[in-house]
Amino acid sequence: MNEAHPTLLQHNISLLQQHRPELLALAVPVDQSAGFTVIVSDDGKPNIEAPHPLTHVADLVHDPLHVAKSFSSLLELLAKEQDALVFLVGMGLGYEATLLVSSYPHFRFVILEPNAELFSAALKAADLAPVLANPHVALRVGNKINIPQLLREQDDALRALPMHLVGHRKLLELFPGTYNPIYSRLQAELLNFKGKLQTIVKQGPLLFHNTVANVPRLSESVHVLALKNIAQGLPAVCVAAGPSLTKNVSLLHGQENRVFIIAVDSAAKILLDHGITPHLIVTIDPIPAGMTKLRHVIAGHGNIPLAYTPEAFPETVQGFQNGPKFVIPGVNDLFRLYLAPLLDQDETFPHMISVMHAATQLATVAGCNPFIFIGLDLALADGQDHAQGCPVSWKNFTREEKIKIPGWHGGEVETVAVLKNQLLALQDIISRNSESRFIDATEGGALIPGTEIMTLHEALGKYADKQMSFAVVIENIFRKAVKPSWEATEYALRDLLKAVKSSRKTAQNGLRSGQEATKEWKFSKIPNKRSLALKKFKKNVIASGASFDKLTGSSEIINALYPLRAEAHHEFIYAREKFTESAPKKTPEQRVLEELEHNIAYFSSWFATTKDAETIITPVLKELAAHGAKGEKTNT
């Protein structure tokens, strides 16, 4: 007699016990007040019925007979890819999720189901084996999903694979309060991640070069935390250079002792043209455009305090020879590991995809409240991307897709992807500083969620009611601060070069052993040389493996040189993951040879990276040594 087939619930619980025990607690009866009902629809399959939030008419979540139509465009994209990472917000009863995973079982999937009761219903209604049993699927359930942690867990896949984000359309539509917030947050985090990744892949070598080239300037700089709470409870005006800036910038004239004025680099010239001297200019631009923005400012006002990131264009930083300089350390392991100790601080700023993000975070360090934004359009105005009088203009939006977003004046305004990404990143900064007040006094452009809408005239009248000599305070702080000596900066850079050369020697040894092993393996195919060749092969494989372990265990230098090899690094890490996953299916011989091939490629790549690093570091060391010799000569 055949045994009865276990119920779907028993089947799914068994899968949870084997593969996802952390979700077992969710296999509970659905609360009657859950806001939905599990029904059997006309096609004979379980479905979710819920009232539409606008029409209040009952609607169905799934269309089981036409599941493929739900994500037809995504399926077309995935069909063209060898591997991918797919984020799906909303699983429901799992029809769409199981189709995606079953169609591409070796792809990576991250499925987020914020409605725990709906997941509980799915356990009783559908076979979730394709999702629950697949090790390539990360499944998170409930309303407390930690998105930053989730992305950290997927870091190498995120960097190495094509990435797609999709939301279950009907769940987003019928349960907006549950699904839209997590979809929007994930979208913002992924856009931010993409921005960081694109920056490090495209500009990594430039960022490394600039960080090293700016080392001599550290002897003339202090950490931005020296400005901590200098304007506690006083208003800051963060000035961007959007098209609306010229509408109200003149109102800042005469307000220099009432508000802390922080200008992004592209806005500094406009302020000075209106007779307004900012208390701080912020620059993060790593390309020569950074100098274009500030050339006229440097020529006549090189004594204005400058806040800069280590990756900023070196000529720009060097141009401000006479004024205070403050370093804003971002997510830069080269700086953190080898240079930050010079400034006696290890705190870093989160990733900044625009200079306004740096300016805003600088205002938080200063303890300002409220934050008043002007010139922060984050949108186009009559086709313009910057204010009149700005030294730069992107002028490359004609072919870009225009995006409609809510506007400051109501209605909608046009923007482009890069500006929308900046808007989303700014929203994240605002949400992380919820105890502070943010006022958007741009009087145009995009509506910035989390800010109060106010004209600049109103904001100044309401908050600029106290006086403080900000410029004098900044000057005194800088003058009294202890700055790194030239000798200390030279020593730090020599320490970096020493680590570079040491790692190159390890790579050379590993490469030599790996190549010898490959040669001996070929000899082992010759009958009269087989025995001796195999002994030499094993010896060299062990030596190559030891070099690989030593090199990959040198996390500090690997992280420091990461900008020079970001793409290659993550492609290797991900390839190694795939190799480990497939290893049990291969013969010992196949595993050894494939691993040896991976290691040889890694050694070759690392050797080239260290050569690039040495080429960048050596001229700066010569500059530091020459300055030291000049100083000794002066002293004698």
Q: What is the pLDDT of residue 395?
A: 66
Q: Given 3-state DSSP classes, what are the helix, strand and coil percentages for the chain, each rounded to the nearest 5?
A: 55, 10, 30
- Overall pTM surpassing 0.75 (yes/no): yes
- Cα torsion angle, 115, 117, 120, 126, sign: negative
The CA dihedral of 577, 579, 581, 582, to the nearest 10 degrees, is 160
**Which stretch of DSSP H or E encloses residue 88?**
strand 85-89
Please give the DSSP secondary-structure letter assigned to residue 338. I
Q: What is the pLDDT of residue 166?
A: 93
Burial class, 223, CB count within 10 angstroms (exposed 0-12 / middle 13-18 / buried 19+): buried
DSSP 35-85: S-EEEE-TTSSEEEEEE-TTT--EEES--GGGHHHHTHHHHHHHHT-SS-E
Does a cis peptide bond (omega within 30 degrees of 0) precede residue 370?
Answer: yes
Q: What is the pLDDT of residue 150?
A: 87
Please give the DSSP secondary-structure letter assigned to residue 465. -
Question: In this structure, are strands 137-141 and 452-453 parallel, antiparallel, or unpaired?
Answer: unpaired
- Cα torsion angle, 181, 186, 187, 188, sign: positive
Q: What is the pLDDT of residue 8?
A: 87
**Which stretch of DSSP H or E encloses residue 588?**
helix 588-635
Of the candidates 477, 472, 243, the one whose C-alpha atom is nearest the C-alpha of residue 380 is: 243
Q: Residue 390 and residue 393: Cα distance in Å, rounded?
A: 7
Q: What is the pLDDT of residue 331?
A: 73
Are 243 and 444 in contact, with CB atoms under 8 Å apart? Answer: yes
Q: Residue 533 and residue 303: Cα distance in Å, rounded?
A: 70
Q: What is the pLDDT of residue 351?
A: 65
Q: Residue 321 and residue 135: Cα distance in Å, rounded?
A: 56
Q: Residue 112 and residue 352: Cα distance in Å, rounded?
A: 27
- Contact residues for 609 (Cβ-Cβ < 8 A; gap 6+): 561, 564, 565, 568
Question: In this structure, are strands 236-239 and 260-264 parallel, antiparallel, or unpaired?
Answer: parallel
CA distances to 564, 603, 617 from 612, rounded to whole Å, are 8, 14, 9
Are 414 and 402 in contact, with CB atoms under 8 Å apart? Answer: yes
Q: What is the pLDDT of residue 115?
A: 92
Q: What is the pLDDT of residue 139?
A: 95
SS3 614: helix
Of the candidates 232, 248, 227, the one whose C-alpha atom is nearest the C-alpha of residue 370 is: 232
Of the candidates 219, 322, 215, the one whose C-alpha atom is nearest the C-alpha of residue 631 is: 219
From the first residue on, what is the mean pLDDT of each consecutive set of 10 residues in the chain (636 residues)? 59 93 80 77 86 91 80 85 91 92 93 93 91 94 88 78 90 93 87 74 91 95 95 96 94 95 96 96 91 91 95 95 90 87 79 86 94 94 82 70 90 88 87 92 95 97 95 96 93 97 98 96 93 96 96 93 89 82 88 94 96 97 82 46
Are 200 and 559 in contact, with CB atoms under 8 Å apart? Answer: no
Q: Residue 494 and residue 496: Cα distance in Å, rounded?
A: 5
